Structure 1
Amino acid sequence: MKRRMNNIFRQDGKSFILAMDHGGGVNVLPELNETGEIIKKARLGGVDGFLVTYGMAVTFAEEIGNTALLLRMDGMVSELNVSNNPMELMYTVEDAVRLGADGVLCMGFPGATNERESMKSITSLVSQGAKWNIPVGAEMLPRGFEFDKFEDLRSAYNIKLSSRIGCELGLDFIKTEYTGDKKSFKELIDGCYKPVLILGGGNSKSNEEILTLVKDALDCGAKGVIMGRNIWRHDNPEKICAAITSIVHNDFTVEQALKTMI
């Protein structure tokens, strides 16, 4: 377990993972037409690893190389789905071990209509992870994606509670949303006894917005980021990766990181 965690997190205890697992459910074209090239550019930019689908892990093993490999374990729900069925586990940790993955990740939806199924998926992976000595993480998102049902969907309180629930279920690291301000996010970090990595969010952000999000989270004690669409949709993935890396691992300010992109 420790060896694999060391592959995910550098010696400074921090990590920058590029999430490229979206294609199992949503349309990622044309931005990910040249998947292998984006992986190469991200590696040049200093990413520590990739969160990918099973198909990507098999097809782009050479491009991913010796960087950390995290495997997306759940799905079975696409943007074509109209039944609102819950996400389910599609692979086992044994499958991930066969691929040489360093860790696995699924969704966690405390408070959602399908909360029970979501929590069972997490505990199933945690149990399998203990058996195979492989780290397990989850994207802890309160209420899931039921935007039309809950007004308090992503309140700071809900995000903090959901992250702590992930720790209690036995996760080795937590992926979650930034709460929106340093005070509440510091409270989240203080309340979690496992490494917390923030997600980047789906909305397109400016370079300064992306880097400020990363810096604010790191200042509060986050151990890094697992970011996707704002990187692989970027005009220059290598440069934005290098800028994020400079903040995560070199403690650059936002202004210093922006200058690396010029």
Structure 2
Amino acid sequence: MSMDYRLRRTLPGDRVAIIMPVDHGLIFDRIEGLETPSAPFAAWGKQDVTGFMMTPGQVRQSARFFAANPHLTRVLTIDTYYDYRQQDGGGSHGLITSVEEAVRMGVDAVKMLFPWNMSRAEQVAMCTRVGQVVNECNRWEIPLVLEPVLIGAPRTEAVIEQEEKVARIAYDLGAHIIKIAFPGEERTRRLVDELKVPLVIAGGPLSGEPGDTVDAVAQTIRAGARGVIVGRNIWQREPGAGKKVLADIARLTRQVKFDD
């Protein structure tokens, strides 16, 4: 399979992608709404999502489900980071599987965190690791979703500005898709226009009213993002409210087509 084939599966041209992340166990252990790691696929896979962001364990356990639902894409998280709560550069990042193994499992893309609130030495090691993964992704023709983030930092203006700068580093390292926490409509549009690499926006932890989530997605779509990564703001809500949020988001994503 080619890079272009996998990119088009991950980010379809006839709509904005809705990728539901359910890989939180790699960092959060047992998390509310995800007590049974394989449960979200049957619960949400028949709703209007385009795919899931998953752990290696989930990929293996859900193989039959995805074989029966081949329209759904799978993005495999290949790394982890501890301790995510620390903001003083004390965390540790590492790979948990390989690009070759991801290809063997038949997923459509791989995903890595790109934490930046680390020491200078750790930043260099992080860039080296990302560069090696990018090379492997190019060799195996599978896209890398790279996520610039200041782990555990509050969403202040300074943090948002810094993550925007780190997105440029992600581009220069060769990321095929960049995933970033929503920095606002104007900044999202600027990143899309300047980097000319598909941008997907992360929904983050459960917060605010359902309408706030839908409004943020609307801004994201207006700014030209190719996908939204929304999990906890759907599956941590009461089921009826979560389904309504997803339906409202899906309607927005189907109003856009891409000429690629």
Query: What TM-score range do you get, normalising by the shorter chain?
Result: 0.7 to 0.9
**Counterpart of 2:103?**
97
**Counterpart of 2:211?**
208
Deviations 1:125-155 (A, max 9, x none): 10100111111111111xx22639x976523
- Partners of 2:147 and 2:223 in 1: how far apart? 19
Residue pair 1:18, 1:51 contacting (<8 A) in 2 also: yes
Which is worse superposed, 43-52 or 61-70?
Answer: 61-70
Residue pair 2:32, 2:236 contacting (<8 A) in 1 also: no
- Partners of 2:250 and 2:85 in 1: how far apart? 35
Pairing partner for 1:136 from 135, 144, 150: 144
1:32 and 2:38 correspond: no
Which is worse superposed, 12-21 or 230-239?
Answer: 230-239
Which is worse superposed, 188-197 or 240-249?
Answer: 240-249
Q: CA deviation at 1:112?
A: 3.2
Unpaired runs of 5+ in structure 1? 252-262
1:117 and 2:125 correspond: yes
Residue pair 2:16, 2:253 contacting (<8 A) in 1 also: yes
SS of residue in 2 equivalent to 1:134: coil
Pairing partner for 1:231 from 231, 234, 248: 234
- Counterpart code for 1:10: P
Q: CA deviation at 1:190?
A: 1.6
- Partners of 1:146 and 1:37 in 2: how far apart? 27
Pairing partner for 2:178 from 174, 188, 191: 174
1:190 and 2:193 correspond: yes
- Counterpart code for 1:109: P
SS of residue in 2 equivalent to 1:118: helix
Residue pair 1:71, 1:104 contacting (<8 A) in 2 also: yes
- Partners of 2:225 and 2:255 in 1: how far apart? 14
1:242 and 2:250 correspond: no
CA RMSD in angstroms, aligned pairs only: 2.5
**Counterpart of 2:8?**
6
Percent of matched pairs sharing the same residue: 24
Deviations 1:137-181 (A, max 9, x none): 11111xx22639x976523x323222222111111100001113x
- Partners of 1:159 and 1:209 in 2: how far apart? 22
Unpaired runs of 5+ in structure 2? none
